[in-house]
Structure 1
């Protein structure tokens, strides 16, 4: 399936230059594509999906915090692909990003967003129905945030980027198949100041080019706001590989699918109910309770008598004893004192001038925070990166980056 129409190996371009400003403070020092969901960064899902269908020649367009991507994936050999990097110095749009990879493209190719969760079945569906231009389409409850697609049979009759009103519940997944000649049209569009791929595809439709739309039932998940990470984590963890390495002491109870990394120690009296993923070099317990859909990064310390539910704990986090963390995200390098409590409850949040109902949310703590003992955080509050919270505080409002609460 990894063959182009010309008979050579199909290439793929992954667009991974974006910053992810709506995900602050989690994207202060990393691009959106390097946020961890389940047991790996978001970008790795795209790479794994391409490899599954036999596409191993990959160009990644990087930009914001590019070093985080290049250091992690290097030349791709550890992930079963060959990676070349191109930099989009200004993040003008997806069409502009694709053009930066033009010198590597001499036949038809696939374009994949690096900031979505997807699977190989989607890429197969795209290639099985390919035309000069093919758009992979899915249904979405909030289509106005995306490129909205109108279909006439299997042909795209119209594609509109983030329309002001609802015109369809079908959206572009950002996954495309193009022939090489599309790049000339794209170059013309970008030169005219129309920087999105959807703009160029709509122009192709108006010029009479056949644009196919393939409706997918594969896994496609997007992260728009920080709280989305919890939902995505819960969706992908049940499919993560169950692996128990490290040291598990006597008296530990583990049920359901649980992955434990090398060098991790699970102390006696600890109870873990999967799906749960725990990284490498962690120390958990004794007498810690971890409930389902929790993802824990590398080099994390969780002290005794702490309970964690449905949360994402990034790398190098330390959580003090007798704490309660529920429906929360703790970013990398943060140190949390004992008796830390995150309230978790349903909330109606204002996001980009829209009220969004969240079933249950706790707290977001940005990277490299220092939180002293006996701090309680109200549901739905965010503590920005590099904050210092002194002991016995109750956090009832959002705290900006680099703040000190005394």
Structure 2
């Protein structure tokens, strides 16, 4: 019977398990693997940058001097990437993001309007909408930084840590445990 199959549940909108960060990153990898060629949707400003496909680039993107993008990667419209930045494989960057000089981003998902400070490294993580990561920060694997979070400069977020939403993490903090805002749902488990 159609209604009792997984396909039937999905078609009716009853699928409510959002999954773990690892499963979300894996889904992103599958989506990025479908990019077959480098596809530039609109205007692209490159200043000595190198793009090794496959890469999907939205409209009005700026890539700074000596920046390298190694696909598969998708970059949304209106995103500005500074000089000497390295964007590694299996990275998805949303619309109107700003990535400052000397940042390194590997196998991560940045949602819309994220700002990543200079000399920051992000690896295997999810960065939600309107989040601001300061300079010289390190975001380790399987981390989720929720919406409208601010990480000040020199913050280290250890693996498998959750910070959300609307939290401000002071400069120089080493985050080893979840930081959750009491005004929001405090659950952070997934499948």
Bin of the TM-score, shorter chain as denominator length: 0.7 to 0.9
Alignment match, 1:343: 140
So what's the TM-score if we normalise by structure 1?
0.41
So what's the TM-score if we normalise by structure 2?
0.85
Q: Go from structure 1 to structure 2 and tell me whether the alpha carbon gap of 1:134 and 1:238 turns closer, same or farther (over 3 Å shift).
A: same
The list of structure 1 runs, each at least 4 consecutive aligned residues, that deviate by more than 6 angstroms after superposition, is none
Whole-angstrom CA distance in 2 between matches of 1:253 and 1:402: 44
Three-state SS of the structure 2 residue aligned to 1:175 is: helix
Alignment match, 1:318: 115
Whole-angstrom CA distance in 1 between matches of 2:84 and 2:100: 8
Alignment match, 2:19: 224
Over aligned residues, Cα RMSD in angstroms? Answer: 2.0
2:83 to 282, 286, 289: 286
Alignment match, 1:271: 68
Structure with bigger helix share is: 1
Residue-by-residue CA offset, 1:39-95 (whole Å, 9 max, x unaligned): xxxxxxxxxxxxxxxxxxxxxxxxxxxxxxxxxxxxxxxxxxxxxxxxxxxxxxxxx
More contact order relative to length (CA 8 Å, sep ≥ 6): 2
Whole-angstrom CA distance in 2 between matches of 1:247 and 1:174: 39
Whole-angstrom CA distance in 1 between matches of 2:178 and 2:108: 19
Whole-angstrom CA distance in 2 between matches of 1:235 and 1:174: 19
* 8 Å Cα contact 2:117-2:133 kept in structure 1: yes
Greater Cα radius of gyration, structure 1 or 2:
1
Alignment match, 2:188: none
Q: Go from structure 1 to structure 2 and tell me whether the alpha carbon gap of 1:378 and 1:275 turns closer, same or farther (over 3 Å shift).
A: same
Residue-by-residue CA offset, 1:146-186 (whole Å, 9 max, x unaligned): xxxxxxxxxxxxx6xxxxxxxxxxxx32338xxxxxxxxxx
Residue 301 in structure 1 maps to residue 106 in structure 2: no
Mark the runs of 5 or more structure 2 residues left unpaired by the alignment.
184-191
Three-state SS of the structure 2 residue aligned to 1:386 is: coil
Whole-angstrom CA distance in 2 between matches of 1:314 and 1:134: 34
Alignment match, 2:189: none
Report the count of equivalent residues.
175
